[in-house]
Structure 1
Amino acid sequence: MDALRLEWVGGAPRLWTSAAMTRQGLVTPVSTRCGAAAVVGWVGSARDRAAGARGLLDSAGRGTASPLPAGDYAAVLVSRDRILLLRDEQARIPLFFQESGGRVNAVSTSVRSLGSVTELDPRYFCRYLTGNLAQPHSDLTPFAGVHRVLGGEVVELSLTGQLRSRTQRRAHQVTVPPDPAAGGCGLDAAAQELRLALEDAVGRRMGTTTACHVSGGTDSTGIALLAARAPAAERGSAGEGLVLLAGRFSRGELAAERSYLDAALEEICRHAPAARPVIVDADEVADFDDFPHHAGDADEPHAHAFRAPFWARLHAAAAELGCDTLLTGCGADPIADANPFHLYRLARTGQLRQMTEQARAWAAGSEQGVRDIVRTYVLQPALPLATERFAALLHGGTVLGGLGTFNRPRWLRRGFARAHGYREAGIAESRFVFGRAPERSLYDAANYVAAPDLLSWQRAPRDGFFLTHPFLDPEVVATMRRLPAAVTFRPGRPKAVLRAAVADLLPAAIRERTVKVPFNDLYSQGLQRHGDALIALCRSARHPLITEMFDVEMLCRAVREARLGLGDSYSWDRMNRSLALVAWLERLDRRSGAPDAAAPVTAGS
């Protein structure tokens, strides 16, 4: 999807934006005497996108390496002496550049528009197949010679397109929570800090008409309640301009969520009487509905395309009401809960007795045993590839058995994996996920695993909005990562700080619940309904890279095993992303999301 495009005409840079997306407010072009800029998304505040774009351009004109401002954006800035390509740290909006011999030839938000279907980079597919996180934080793209601007990265070019530098910048300094050594960081103080950070994150994300996804869980309900209680300047009088978007199930396992959903909507409307609940009947939707379209038409392979039918139905309802932002509760599980890799830090520093005591407490407050806790949060971060290989040996005999995040799936041909660096990709991915200090790396990794937004990006021209996630805001993440484990960990009470932060808002039924029904039923229905079609898709695939990469019959066997309920979330994820890759390669020659018209952005006089 070409939301913006930078090209060189007669040796001079020319910046273009999609006229339709500009009218929708998804793209903000600005020009001053300093130069011209195009910002996809928003900088600073979703309500004043023009001011944020001008501030970004003025900052670039001063030539200082200032911290990146908060927001969800990708931007191209053309000043008098240089060109800057940049994305915010959370990297919700994509940006790519085509490079050859140290010179950039074109820049776009669409990787397909820059790449050639005949020049694919097999290394990318090895990175993509290693796990949830490989795609967004890797420079590689599916196409040779096309690179990704990474989250928090600033790419500097000369006015003729010569690549000068690629540097990482952090966001603005955020509020520091109370100092634990000063005795000011109990649960109440931590909850107050988190509440302030969340209120600020929600307020900056609210637009003229804001939709909040509400599921009846602590996370989404808390965000919607904060939006309902936001100052009138942010949400309108008595909640005008606030839409409460929910998918409702009347049968199956997910029907048990209905009473919580009703309680959440009632409480939100009590705070914002003019808020408009929009209930989408989701009984007929299942995972993998219209899978070739959702997976095949994406700009690049979309590992979570199997869940797109449910989200697409909700997005369509919000689009009909003219919403310009949609807030979710994504990210709360890894961000706002106790950090389990604190156990690894205790083991690494020789505090084995304390680690054992806390592992027992952790197990007592969850459905896992002590051995499972130690293996997952102590052994695996220390030896990730070896731990997974050992698990695969214990669970051999099936295609999906023992298949974790880094192991080579049995349907990925050994020769292809060896030739194109699958093992190296697995090592690089494990280092990103765990790093030298897994208790800190958890937050960086959570940004990519919690909110896969490719569906939002693909549908944006039709819907008129992007998803945005307050729990992944840099200030919220910084607040949680600096809290000591003694404050965040409460056995049997997940997300204790978050619960305390919104305790005065949540209905009692939601405040006290500790278990939420997962979407396993939706996934099982989808496999039962579409399993034969997925197998047929694999067997009928004609792209030469598919048979070079995959043992197709082995992949089909994995689909059959998943239909029988074999495997776990890790192995199903590996199968889902492989199926999405098959569908994507089969429709690779189709260009999707090209704008119907483009408007030039020129510097003001």
Structure 2
Amino acid sequence: MCASTRSPCTPGRLRRACASLTPIREGTRSRRCSRSVARGSDVEALRLEWAAGAPRLRATEAMARQGLVTTVSSRAGTAVVVGWAGSVRDRVAGAHGLLDDFGRPGAAPRLPAGDYAAVLVCRDRVLLMRDEQARIPLFFRESGGQVSAVSTSARRLGDFEELERRYFCRYLTGNMAQPHSELTPFAGVHRVLGGEVVELSITGRMRGRALGRVGHADHPWDSTADGLRLSGAAKELRLALEHAVGRRMGTMTACHVSGGTDSTSVALLAARPTAAGQDSPRDLVLLAGRFGTGELAGEQPYLDEAMKEIHRHAPGARPVMVDVGDVADFDDFQDHAGDADEPHAHAFRAPFWSRLHAAAAELGCDILLTGCGADAMVDANPFHLHRLARTGQLRQLTKQARAWAAGSERGVRDVVCDYVMRPALPLTAERITALVRRGTVLGGLGSFTRPRWLRPGFARAHGYREAGIAESRFVFGRRPEQSLFEAANYLAAPDPLSWRRARQDGFFLSHPFLDHEVIATMRSLPPEATFRPGRPKAVLREAMADLLPSRIRGRAVKVPFDELYARGLRRHGDELIDLCRSARHPLVAEMFDVETLCRAVREAQLGVGDAYSWDRMNSSLALVVWLERLDRRGCAGGAGMPVIAGS
């Protein structure tokens, strides 16, 4: 489940249902735990500083004991890896591999697969790096080309009195802005980007920043019939998914199961011996949410079917049903949004995931696999229509646009507008829409248009227009059909919550559908291999045809999470408005017209607007809370374990 409210475009939507198994009630306990982790939730897993010109590297002892941080040394130097590189099962080997590959003078090897951030202190240089999917954060403080500190927490490096206002404009352009932007909320603190390698001298002098080489396989596809082409694509995807799941199998692996095609596929592959790379899979936990009433209770038959089939392959798997019938978006919003390291645009959806995290942590799981990312990664790519338009293949464009319209029960004009016209002129298209639908605060508010509650003077002074242009170029790019993969990666999962809870839970979320091998496979496929009108994710269904139950393999529509959002606004709308009006941080009044933002909350309560406009409002509310609690949090953290100390 993406944390966004957007139903058609949210990668990896996770739907919840109930089953006739004994539930674990997590209501009171998980809320109490979320509050405790919020007090000091900026997770500093490692810290690098310089003393007398020599590097001093520390790792958090508690996270090292949990296996979340791995430290290795060799003749080449010392490496601290947060997360895992190569394989969850052998984090030490992955860390040694990074050190051996990058520790050689002049070496520029390919970045391995994994979910990691790493600091390598070699004999002649220091390297900072993150995997391409950028799940684990890493920041450095720099002035005049000299880096003075490195940490996984931006807040630990920043000064609360020196906030970077350009960052807030960048953040407010859309919920993908944070992970692929170098800016952070604090002046002088910079983000190591996904797939980037930052090189420093041994004394901390900046030498260079470059995107690391990542292997993306190119598969030659022949011009055989569509059926054979689909079959070949399915085989490639199945192999890539098996590898992705196998890399992520831990000592005790939890899989989220919702009864949908995506999460059920991941759980089935985890249940098979071939995925675990051994005679039988290791301890497997099947984690699901129980909704006893409402629309989401309609997912129960599919969840029952998924559980039954997974148990057929892994009889020893443990089903864990978490009672989430009382959960609503915006529960404990001040904790989830206010105490994160950075403003958390998807904090409104955190209560649901917190329940599941608490159950998995109680059982001692060391990783939690989800189906996030499948909607964008393995479904047909609608922006192929844009390629046909810009290459002048108008007859083919018309034919395929009609097929898209028929398959999605939409008009041809809507399809062409969304996938051809809007990507070509995104800012202009949004301005026109905003003018046509003007009359309400949320009316016509898309992904890049300045929300009416953001003061125009602040937007002009701190580069909102430039931020909007940069964000639109990232989302669509010159080739939207390729940009879709990068953009979807940052929409796909509520990872800030996973990172924030890691020290308490002892695990991170991981997403096989966002594995670099899966993405590379899908990038290489021709449109004909993935698109079947009226049959979403055709290539995935074909790839998993021998495992998925027919009832799940044949379903095309799932119940969205709109009920949780509407319930949350009904329950907490007045509280959110009071929160905005009582805000005292000077930047809130400088940035926002508070009364206009409050009107937006009222409109959302009444159902005005759409998923895009609600996303913009949610992000703004999270920012208000984050600013309000910014100066209330202590800086005490976990005990540091010295790895390299300066002389």
Q: Secondary structure at the match of 2:598?
A: helix
Q: 1:159 aligns with which of 198, 202, 205?
A: 202
**Matched residue, 1:147:** 190
CA distance in 2: counterparts of 1:201 and 1:98, whole angstroms: 34
CA contact (8 A) 2:337 2:623 kept: yes
Counterpart amino acid of residue 433 in structure 2: A
Question: Please, which runs of 5 or more residues in structure 1 have no aligned partner?
Answer: none
Aligned residue pairs total: 601
**3-state DSSP class of the match of 2:273?**
coil
Counterpart residue number, 1:496: 538
Partner of 2:525: 483
Give me the whole-angstrom Cα distance separating, in 1, the residues matched to 2:493 and 2:405.
27
After the TM superposition, which residues 200-211 of structure 1 pair with which residues of structure 2 at under 5 Å, given as runs?
A: 200-211=243-254
Letter in 1 for 2:359: A
Over aligned residues, Cα RMSD in angstroms?
Answer: 1.4
* Cα separation, 1, equivalents of 2:556 and 2:350: 27
Say whether residues 1:74 and 2:112 are aligned partners. no
Q: SS state of the match for residue 284, structure 1?
A: coil
- Contact 2:246–2:275, Cα closer than 8 Å, also in 1: no
Counterpart of 1:325? Answer: 367
> How far apart, CA to CA, are the structure 2 residues paired with 1:509 and 1:55?
43
Q: Who is 1:65 aligned against?
A: 108
Question: Which of structures 1 and 2 has the larger relative contact order (alpha carbons within 8 angstroms, sep 6+)?
Answer: 2
* More divergent stretch after superposition (25-34 vs 105-114): 25-34
Identify which of 141, 144, 151 aligns with 1:101: 144
Return the letter of the residue paired with 1:555: L
In structure 2, the residue matched to 1:437 is 479
Alpha-carbon distance in structure 1 between the residues aligned to 2:390 and 2:611? 28
Residue 173 of structure 1 and its aligned partner are, at CA, apart by 4.4
Residue 229 of structure 1: aligned partner: 272
- 1:110 alignment counterpart: 153
CA contact (8 A) 1:44 1:52 kept: yes
State the Cα deviation string for residues 114-169 of structure 1 (Å, max 9, x = none): 00100000000000000121110000000000000000100000011100000011
Establish whether residue 41 from structure 1 lines up as the match of residue 83 from structure 2.
yes
Residues 209 and 325, structure 1, Cα contact 8 Å, conserved in 2: yes
Aligned pair 1:305/2:347, yes or no? yes
From 339, 352, 355, the counterpart of 2:381: 339
- Matching residue within 170, 174, 184 for 2:213: 170
CA distance in structure 1 between the partners assigned to 2:65 and 2:364 by the alignment = 13
- Over 3 Å counting, the alpha-carbon distance change for 1:168 and 1:504 in structure 2 is same
Task: Find the partner of 2:169 among 126, 129, 132.
Answer: 126
SS for the counterpart of 1:365 is helix
In 2 relative to 1, CA 191–525 (structure 1 residues): closer, same or farther, beyond 3 Å? same
8 Å CA contact retained: 1:343, 1:378: yes
Give me the whole-angstrom Cα distance separating, in 1, the residues matched to 2:479 and 2:276.
42
Cα gap change, 1:595/1:230 in structure 2, threshold over 3 Å: closer, same or farther?
A: farther
Which residue of 519, 523, 526 corresponds with 2:568? 526
Paired letter, 1:90: Q
Deviation string, structure 1 residues 386-445 (Cα, Å, up to 9, x no partner): 001111111110000110000000000000000000000000011111111111111111
d(CA) in 1 for partners of 2:430, 2:212: 34
Identify if the C-alpha distance between structure 1 residues 240 and 169 changes in structure 2 by more than 3 Å, giving closer, same or farther.
Answer: closer
Q: How far apart are 1:177 and its partner, in Å?
A: 3.3
Shift of 1:503: 1.1
Give 1:170 deviation, angstroms: 2.8
- Residue number in structure 1 paired with 2:302: 260
- 1:88 aligned onto 2:131: yes
Tell me the CA shift for residue 452 of structure 1: 3.3
* Structure 2 CA distance for aligned equivalents of residues 325 and 336 of structure 1: 23
Secondary structure of 1:231's aligned partner? helix
SS at match of 2:311: helix
The equivalent residue for 1:446 is 488
How far the C-alpha of 1:78 sits from its partner, in A, is 0.1
2-structure distance, mates of 1:536, 1:236:
58
Q: Does structure 2 conserve the Cα–Cα contact (< 8 Å) formed by 1:81 and 1:158?
A: yes
1:358 aligns with 2:400: yes
| Partner SS for 2:87 | coil
Name the CA shift for 1:173/1:432 in 2 (closer, same or farther; >3 Å). Answer: closer
Shift of 1:182: 6.8
**Partner in structure 2 of residue 580 of structure 1:** 622
Pick which of 358-367 and 470-479 moved more: 358-367
Q: Deviations over 1:540-581 (max 9, x none)?
A: 100000010000000000000000011110000000000000
Deviations 1:181-221 (A, max 9, x none): 47796111110000000000000011000000111110000
In the alignment, residue 83 of structure 1 is paired with which amino acid?
Answer: V
Task: Compute the displacement of 1:505 (Å).
Answer: 0.7
Does the 8 Å contact 2:246/2:276 carry over to 1?
no
Where 2:103 maps in the other structure, the secondary structure is helix
Given that 2:164 and 2:187 are in contact with CA atoms closer than 8 Å, whether structure 1 keeps it comes out as yes
Asked whether the equivalents of residues 333 and 347 of structure 2 are also in contact (C-alpha less than 8 Å), the reply is yes
Residues 553-564 of structure 1 correspond to what in structure 2 (within 5 A)? 553-564=595-606
Deviation at 1:365, TM superposition (A): 1.0
Secondary structure of 2:408's aligned partner: coil
Alignment of 1:388-467 (within 5 A): 388-467=430-509
User: What TM-score, normalized to structure 2?
Assistant: 0.91
Alignment partner for residue 292 of structure 1, among 324, 331, 334? 334
Rounded to whole Å, the distance in 1 between the matches of 2:195 and 2:55 is 24
Amino acid at match of 2:256: H
Contact 1:31 1:601 in 2 (8 A): no
Distance 1:258 1:577, change over 3 A: same
Q: Do structure 1's residue 506 and structure 2's residue 540 form an aligned pair?
A: no
Counterpart of 2:20 in structure 1 is none
The answer for unaligned runs of 5 or more in structure 2 is: 1-42
400-409 or 58-67, larger mean C-alpha shift:
58-67
Worse-superposed segment, 63-72 or 198-207: 63-72
Partner of 2:60: 18
Partner of 1:372: 414
Equivalent in the alignment of 1:216? 259
Distance 1:263 1:131 in 2: 37
In the TM superposition, residue 350 of structure 1 has moved relative to its aligned partner by: 1.2
- 1:180 is paired with a residue of what secondary structure? coil
Partner Cα separation in structure 2 for residue 219 and residue 289 of structure 1: 27
The CA distance in 2 between the partners of 1:368 and 1:232, in whole Å, is: 39
Q: 1:594 Cα deviation (Å)?
A: 4.9
Q: Residues 44 and 71 of structure 1 are in contact (CA less than 8 Å); yes or no, is this contact kept in structure 2?
A: yes
* TM-score, normalization by structure 1: 0.97
Q: 1:339 is paired with a residue of what secondary structure?
A: coil
Structure 1 counterpart of 2:324: 282
Deviation string, structure 1 residues 575-600 (Cα, Å, up to 9, x no partner)? 00000000100111244785321111
Q: Distance in 2 between matches of 1:131 and 1:323?
A: 33
